[in-house]
Amino acid sequence: PEQKGKGKPIEGEKVKVENLGRLIKPIFKINSDGIRYFDKHIWLPLFGGLLDLIMHESHKSTYLINHGSDKMYQDLKKLYWWPNIKAKITTYISKCLTCAKVKAEHQKPSDLLQQPEILEWK
């Protein structure tokens, strides 16, 4: 008996050659200055504090302040890449007290809460 995973491929399970090329090619490129790139984006490691510094500086910049995670993501993804970039930015913004305050100020207020009239039993 032939073992699973060995032998002829199952119909419809053919692997495209262009998909294999990506596995063979190096994922990161290092330029002459020693900066590592992922595609055309500067790759930031998750350790060492550089990622936090980039997010902090970007967030406090006059161009990005309090525009929320979507705007910050759109701007940072043009230059940088790191694993889970969108989730990391969303988490960073969710911890910003100034952003939370600005967001609350721009929310549509709900109808004012009113004490319901209490009827007397007769």
User: What pLDDT score was predicted for residue 87?
Assistant: 93
**What CATH number corresponds to the domain at position 52?**
1.10.340.70
Beta-carbon contacts of 59 under 8 Å, excluding residues fewer than 6 positions away, are 65, 72, 92, 93, 96
Domain count, the chain: 1
96 in any annotated domain: yes
12 in any annotated domain: no
Residue 61's domain spans which residues? 17-102
115 burial type by CB count under 10 A (0-12 exposed, 13-18 middle, 19+ buried): exposed
121 in any annotated domain: no
- Which whole number is the average pLDDT over 63-81? 79
Backbone angles phi, psi at 121, to 5 degrees: -80, 140
116 in any annotated domain: no
CA–CA dist 54, 14 (Å, integer): 42
95 in any annotated domain: yes
Task: Provide the token pair at 26.
Answer: 């190096």
Pick the range with the lowest mean pLDDT from 80-89, 95-104, 111-120. Answer: 111-120
User: What pLDDT score was predicted for residue 1?
Assistant: 47
